[in-house]
Amino acid sequence: MTGTGVRAAARIVACGDGRGGTALPVLEGEGPLALRRTRGSGAEARVMVVGAMSGPLGGDRFGIEAHVAEGARLSVGSAAATIALPGQLKAPARYDVRLDVADGGELRWLPEQLISAKGSDLYVRTRVDVGTAGRLVLREEQVLGRVREEPGRLTSRLTVRVAGRTLLDQEVACGPGAPGGWDGPAVLAGHRAVGQLVVVRPEFATEPVTARMLGEGAAVTPLAGPAVLVSAVARDALLLRRVLDEALGHLGG
């Protein structure tokens, strides 16, 4: 920790082990971003991010990278929700995520929810690059405030590129100080859980998914490439997870 907050980084590299499975030659984490390999299934390796500290707090800078090589399959989750909290420093916190999936690689990025507690200020930046024949399932879930609590300020930007082409680049800002209308009928409409699911599969290029609504608070939107975006809002985290899980099931898991 420094006078400008905690600095922490984690890095995962997955590659084929030559026997039909996945090896993890790099599995490095520090401070609040401890990494643990858990039991996988088949050719897939699984990693859990285990929070060893509270946060991120004001002024903290967290970063995590995952690189999946050709022929490797990696699933990454987290042991618990991440809670953005206010700290002694008034500066905003930052959480950077960088994901790279090579041709023939597969990544399932399925962390638990990010909770924006009252008084916090967090900027999340997620950048994903997928090769032409790469496969991706990415889930983001954000909960605005704990039970009966006003949210903090949360800004989240997600960029997804496939074969060097940008398919998605969007930013959402919620909470005190965010642009007006974030909680209005055209955006969250009073809901306190918001999430999205991005699925990239080569077969979507020739068998595109049809745009449709999933109930009242979720929509499936095909992107301009082999990818699909599911956007959802819900009254709480439990319902949001149910909606996104159902959407993933409709897309073939």
Looking at residues 174-191, what average pLDDT do you find?
Answer: 79
**Does position 3 have pLDDT exceeding 60, yes or no?**
no
List the chain domain ranges.
Answer: 7-209+234-250
Cα separations in angstroms, 58 against 5, 88, 123, 152: 7, 7, 11, 11
Looking at residues 100-123, what average pLDDT do you find?
Answer: 96
> Mean pLDDT for the chain?
92
* pTM (2 d.p.): 0.94
More confident residue, 34 or 184: 34
Percent of the chain beyond pLDDT 90? 77
Q: Which pLDDT does position 1 carry in this prediction?
A: 47
Q: Which pLDDT does position 52 carry in this prediction?
A: 59
Picking from 96-110, 171-185, 200-214, which range would have the lowest pLDDT averaged per residue?
171-185
Report which listed range, 2-6, 8-12, 212-216, is most confident: 8-12
Percent of the chain beyond pLDDT 70? 97
Looking at residues 56-60, what average pLDDT do you find?
Answer: 91
From the DSSP assignment, how many helices (H) and strands (E) are in the chain? Answer: 1, 18
E-state strands within the chain: 7-16, 22-29, 34-38, 44-50, 61-68, 73-78, 82-84, 93-101, 106-110, 114-116, 121-130, 135-144, 153-162, 165-174, 193-200, 212-213, 218-222, 227-234
Q: How many angstroms separate the CA atoms of 201 and 103, rounded? A: 11
Q: Which pLDDT does position 16 carry in this prediction?
A: 95
Looking at residues 71-79, what average pLDDT do you find?
Answer: 96
**Does position 42 have pLDDT exceeding 80, yes or no?**
yes
**Does position 107 have pLDDT exceeding 90, yes or no?**
yes
φ, ψ (nearest 5 deg) of residue 54: -75, 160
